[in-house]
Amino acid sequence: MLQDSFNRQIDYLRIAVTDKCNLRCQYCMPANGIDYIKQSELLSYEEIERIVSVLAKEGVRKIRFTGGEPFLRKDLSYLIKSISKIEGIEKLAITTNATICIKYVDDLIPYGLTDWNVSIDSLDKKRFETITRRDEYETVIDCINYLKADPRIKLKLNTVVMKQHNIDDIIPLVELTQNHSLSVRFIEEMPFNGSGNEQAELVWDHKKILWHITEYFNHVNKIPDPQNSTSFNYQIQDFKGSFGIIPAFTRSFCGTCNRLRMTPTGLIKTCLYDKGTFNVKNMMRAGATDAEVLTAIQEAIRYKSKDGFEADKKRRGGNSTLLSMAQIGG
Ligand code: SF4
């Protein structure tokens, strides 16, 4: 079992398979993008499988594939299928921007990939294009409708709330949950936008988002939050679906954190806000055994920060700049 010094069991690994993306979302990347990682610096699929096998023996049960846009990594389906066969892995999930994934859906569901999170920050074409700096609105909506139509899929829509861009989308997004069992999650904006600038303050925090929704809908019911959940969940009376609010900048959910992250280059992060602990790819390429890899990961988890504030403070103390979310994997 992987446990930190706060008795939090780590059983969920988020794997960023690429930093490449075909969108340029304002809260994630500068308009001219980022310097993409060289192919030789990327973790290979064999290396990813090896790390997952090592961690599955130690209690990791859930894997989420992220990016950048994960489907931009060549032959991603091969990796997902092989990870699905690793003993101990019980849950597979993916976070995608839904611009290119529609052709992979039916092939991957039988391998257990039923948890699909789609990033969409506006239901308005013009606002969507302003936020993403790309003209992919129709493609994304088509893919969302395709995923909505499949009862095997647990669909979540992730929306980063930005005061200058999409406040007018909050209510229409909640209204999507009236006739469909999907979950819409509103995420506080975070400072991982590739500018390296620290985020001073947050206007639209989880409290203001909830207030905005309860001002509009009469009956907003609190519903139970799943174990280790980062979102606080609610349901409008008589609506089929639900909405959640993720205080990602406020960081009021760290007490039950069960997450470990691995960046596309193999940097192990025990917290979204830390600067990374060590590079497992370099270790493996230097000839480390599985036992040595495991010991290094256990050591990193032993020193996992109490919460995102402590991790952020340590990062700043190390003068490490903030990466783009595409380089971390969310
Ligand atoms: S901010 Fe860090 S400690 Fe808190 S939940 Fe996220 S990853 Fe875990």
pLDDT in tens, 188-229: 999 888 877 766 678 899 999 999 999 999 999 999 999 999
pLDDT digits 0-9 by tens, 84-99? 999 999 999 999 999 9
Q: What is the per-residue DSSP string for 85-128?
A: TSTT--EEEEEE-SSS-GGGHHHHGGGTEEEEEEE---SSHHHH
Nearest CA to ligand 1 atom 8: 257
Q: Give distance in angstroms: CA of 272 to centre of ligand 1.
A: 6
pLDDT band with cut points at 50, 70 and 90 for residue 317: confident
Q: Give distance in angstroms: CA of 150 to centre of ligand 1.
A: 32
DSSP at 9: B
Nearest CA to ligand 1 atom 5: 254
pLDDT band with cut points at 50, 70 and 90 for residue 53: very high
Ligand 1 lining (C-beta closer than 6 Å): 251, 253-254, 257, 259, 271-273, 307-308, 311
* Angle 35-40-46 from CA coordinates, rounded to 5°: 125
DSSP at 151: T
- Residue percentage of the chain with pLDDT more than 90: 93
Poorest-pLDDT segment among 45-49, 225-229, 277-281, 315-319? 315-319
Residue 124 tokens, joined: 């308005």
Helix (H) or strand (E) holding 137: helix 137-148
Say if residue 321's pLDDT is above 80: no
More confident residue, 197 or 43: 43
CA-CA distance, 134 to 207, in Å (whole number)?
Answer: 31
Model pTM score: 0.96
Task: Please state, rounded to an integer, the average pLDDT across all residues of the chain.
Answer: 96
Largest CA distance in the chain: 61
Question: Given the CA of residue 307, which atom of ligand 1 is nearest to it?
Answer: 3
Q: Give distance in angstroms: CA of 124 to centre of ligand 1.
A: 31
Q: What pLDDT does residue 199 have? A: 64
Say if residue 230's pLDDT is above 70: yes
The preferred substitution site among 251, 261, 305, 310 for testing ligand 1, maximizing ligand atoms within 8 Å of CB, is: 251
**Sequence-distant (≥ 6) Cβ neighbours of residue 162 within 8 angstroms:** 26, 27, 121, 131, 189, 204
Q: What pLDDT does residue 200 have? A: 61
Question: Given the CA of residue 253, which atom of ligand 1 is nearest to it?
Answer: 5
Q: What pLDDT does residue 43 have? A: 98
Nearest CA to ligand 1 atom 3: 307
pLDDT digits 0-9 by tens, 237-261? 999 999 999 999 999 999 999 999 9
Question: Given the CA of residue 274, which atom of ligand 1 is nearest to it?
Answer: 2
Say if residue 137's pLDDT is above 90: yes
Domains of the chain: 12-328 (3.20.20.70)
Instruction: Give the pLDDT mean for 55-73.
Output: 98
pLDDT digits 0-9 by tens, 142-161? 999 999 999 999 999 999 99
CA-CA distance, 48 to 266, in Å (whole number)?
Answer: 9
For 70, 182, 219, the CA distances from 79, given in Å and listed in that order, are: 11, 27, 44
Q: Which of 34, 141, 35, 15 is nearest to 89 (CA)?
A: 15
**Sequence-distant (≥ 6) Cβ neighbours of residue 184 within 8 angstroms:** 156, 157, 159, 173, 174, 176, 177, 241, 242, 243, 244
pLDDT band with cut points at 50, 70 and 90 for residue 35: very high
Q: Which of 54, 65, 46 is nearest to 261 (CA)?
A: 65
CA-CA distance, 309 to 311, in Å (whole number)?
Answer: 5
Q: Give distance in angstroms: CA of 232 to centre of ligand 1.
A: 15
Question: Given the CA of residue 269, which atom of ligand 1 is nearest to it?
Answer: 7
Say if residue 304's pLDDT is above 80: yes
CA-CA distance, 54 to 56, in Å (whole number)?
Answer: 6
For 94, 163, 247, the CA distances from 154, given in Å and listed in that order, are: 11, 29, 22
